[in-house]
């Protein structure tokens, strides 16, 4: 289908591997977003993501994420997070759906005066995770000047 990649030494060395490496790459870049995007995806596909507005909006977001994420898995030697960088926004939105649904669940479990502490703890934890994600990116890719987001480079970058 794309013979140029099959003969490209760079693509063969750094952009090749089983499909789960794409998930591993997103996990390496942002474990919290990746972990929250999974339940967000399930909520959106099951049309139970109340905060997505119309349930079809959540399903469309989930379908786009899955279909676009499958492209480098299906196409040989296309395992590069740069090629699927457009997925960062949908993954963050799916993670936000999961986080907001968790907040709604907490609100349903406690009286209004009891929700402040658990919601505050959850918000602080998410803020710390976001700072950690930024610091991880800075350390792993900016400071050591990683040349590309090819899956081989992402997974081999020192931590």
Its domain, for residue 51, covers: 3-156
Identify the pLDDT of residue 93. 93
Identify the pLDDT of residue 124. 96
The model's confidence at residue 156, banded by pLDDT at 50, 70 and 90, is: confident
Identify the pLDDT of residue 1. 56
Give the list of residues 6+ apart from residue 68 with CB closer than 8 angstroms, or none: 84, 86, 87, 90
Whole-number mean pLDDT of the chain?
Answer: 89
pLDDT at 147 over 90: no
Give buried/exposed letters for 92-105 (b at 16+ CB in 10 A, else e): ebbbbbbbbbbbee
The model's confidence at residue 2, banded by pLDDT at 50, 70 and 90, is: low
pLDDT tens digits, residue range 6-34?
788 888 899 999 999 999 999 998 999 99
Q: Model's pTM, two decimal places? A: 0.87
pLDDT tens digits, residue range 87-139?
999 999 999 999 998 988 888 998 888 999 999 999 999 999 999 989 988 88
Cβ proximity of 62 and 14 under 8 Å: no
Total number of domains constituting the chain: 1
pLDDT at 51 over 70: no
pLDDT at 40 over 60: yes
Identify the pLDDT of residue 21. 94
Cα–Cα distances (Å) from 51 to 22, 37, 56, 88, 127, in that order, read 28, 14, 12, 19, 20
């Amino acid at each position: 289908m794309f013979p140029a990649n099959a003969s490209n030494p760079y693509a063969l060395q750094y952009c090749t591997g089983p499909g789960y490496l794409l998930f591993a790459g997103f996990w390496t870049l942002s474990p919290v977003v990746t972990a929250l995007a999974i339940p967000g995806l399930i909520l959106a596909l099951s049309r139970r993501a109340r905060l997505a507005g119309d349930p079809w909006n959540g399903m469309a977001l989930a379908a786009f994420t899955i279909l676009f994420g499958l492209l480098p898995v299906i196409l040989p030697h296309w395992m590069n997070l740069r090629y699927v960088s457009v997925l960062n926004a949908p993954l963050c939105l799916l993670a936000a759906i999961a986080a907001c649904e968790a907040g709604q669940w907490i609100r349903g479990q406690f009286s209004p005066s009891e929700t402040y502490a658990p919601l505050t703890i959850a918000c602080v934890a998410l803020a710390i995770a976001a700072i950690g994600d930024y610091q991880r990116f800075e350390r792993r890719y900016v400071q050591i000047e990683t040349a590309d987001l090819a899956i081989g480079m992402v997974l081999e970058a020192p931590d």
